[in-house]
Amino acid sequence: MKPIILVVGARPNFMKMAPLYDELKKRDLPVILLHTGQHYDENMSKVFFEDLDMPKPDIYLGVGSASHAKQTAKIMIDFEEICEKKSPSIVVVAGDVNSTIACALVAKKLSIPVGHVEAGLRSFDMEMPEEINRILTDRISNLLFTPSKDANQNLTNEGMDAQSIKLVGNIMIDSLLNKIEKSEISNIHQKLKVKKENYALITLHRPSNVDYEDSLTRIIKALETIGEDTAIVFPVHPRTTNMINEFGLENRINQIPNLILTKPVGYLDFLALIKYSKVVLTDSGGLQEETTALGIPCITLRENTERPITVEEGTNTIVGNKTENILNEWRNISLNGGKSGRIPELWDGKTAIRISDILVNFLKEN
């Protein structure tokens, strides 16, 4: 049997592919784990692989950081050579990063079937590079593995073949449920000197928030108020660090009371930080899902989300990046405890099993 290539490129991909890799290997299927190296912090990538019990990638392209065009082009050139050498039966990509569209496009042009994990998500914001990647990848994929019914509806509205749309659930939750108990070994709270269930957690990396001084300053202003009576743990993304320095905001950041700055942390440490937080403030997509699964109130610092189920059924509230909107929701959570929410359908830790079943049947038929 020809190999199945699983593509990862950035840290969110690791959480999506780890359970699928494990399940396919259990079935003794030939699997090639390919890491494009899109994420430029290789030390952090290594930690995530270890935390998720993933093996060293079979193939590492090492494309590194660059503009969208250069990075995508480099991945395509290198991946084409891999496909010609390995002749895979199918290429499986995940999420919405540049590695996703680059590898899907190469495979499709070589007449290799493509499976897209986390298909059908839409923010309906074409200013987001990720939205472009999502739409284009879905358009050329043979198998569209969706996490929720709204994703199915999006694909149906776009005229996608109903036979290609497969509601399988949220594979990020597979990783979370697999590792949440193991995360108890983390000593991140002692290391950061923060009390469990007595802090807010914030992550920030999207260009709309950090690449413009006014938007970044509005968020900082909200943190200045929150920090007056609550500890804030802030693992700072490299992009955010660069922009804080460029705008000369280091002193203002460092003067925020009760703010605990740290470099990005590993998966198990981060799970522990989410699990024991009072509230999460974020512009991340995956974190909206993880907080919903764990029942943690989430304030999303964006104008929209490609994961509306986390708002409709989960614990997520969209507020944008205006100071007063952030603080209004913060006060609501502080006084009323925030949204309770519920865990959406098929977020049960068995998504990798469902995807593997579909892949096996597809390859038998083709």
Q: Over the stretch 5-63, which tens digit does the pLDDT of each residue have? A: 999 998 889 999 999 999 999 999 999 999 998 765 655 677 888 899 999 999 999 88
Q: What is the reported pLDDT for 37? A: 87
Residue 164 has pLDDT above 90, yes or no: yes
What would the mean pLDDT of 270-286 be, rounded to a whole number? 97
Q: CA quadruple 50, 53, 56, 60: dihedral positive or negative?
A: negative
Vertex 233: Cα angle to 227 and 239 (nearest 5): 110
Q: At 208, is the secondary structure helix, strand, or coil?
A: helix
Region 316-325: what's the mean pLDDT?
A: 98
Where is average pLDDT lowest: 58-62, 139-143, 200-204? 58-62
Q: Quick check: helix, strand or coil at residue 196?
A: coil
Same structural domain for residues 325 and 359?
no
Average the pLDDT over 326-351 and give the result.
95
Q: So what's the pLDDT on residue 141? A: 98
Task: State the pLDDT confidence band at 70, using cuts at 50, 70 and 90.
Answer: very high
Average pLDDT across the chain, whole number: 95
Express as a percent the part of the chain with pLDDT over 90.
91
| Rounded CA separation 127/310 (Å) | 22
- Report the pLDDT value the prediction gives residue 64, as an integer from 0 to 100: 80
* Helical pair 129-140 and 98-109, crossing angle rounded to 10 deg: 30
Query: Which residues, 6 or more positions from 337, have their beta carbon under 8 angstroms from its beta carbon?
Result: 297
Given this model, what pLDDT does residue 271 score?
A: 97
Instruction: Find where tokens 């990075």 sit.
Output: 71
CB 57 within 8 A of CB 35: yes
Determine the average pLDDT of the residues in 185-199: 97
Confidence of residue 338 (pLDDT cuts 50, 70, 90): confident
Task: Tally the domains of the chain.
Answer: 2
Residue 176 lies in a domain: no
Indicate if 275 and 139 belong to the same structural domain. no
292, part of any domain? yes
| Residues spanned by the domain of 46 | 4-169+347-365
- 241 and 354 part of one domain: no
How confident is the model over 318-327, as a mean pLDDT?
Answer: 98
- Clarify whether residues 138 and 200 are in a common domain: no
Tell me the one-letter amino acid at 132. I
Stretch 152-168: mean pLDDT: 98
The pLDDT, as a whole number, for residue 40 is 58
CATH number at residue 332: 3.40.50.2000
The yes-or-no verdict on residue 249 having pLDDT over 90 is yes
Catalytically active residues, by annotation:
205
Which two three-digit tokens encode residue 171? 């594979």
Q: pTM of whole model > 0.85? A: yes
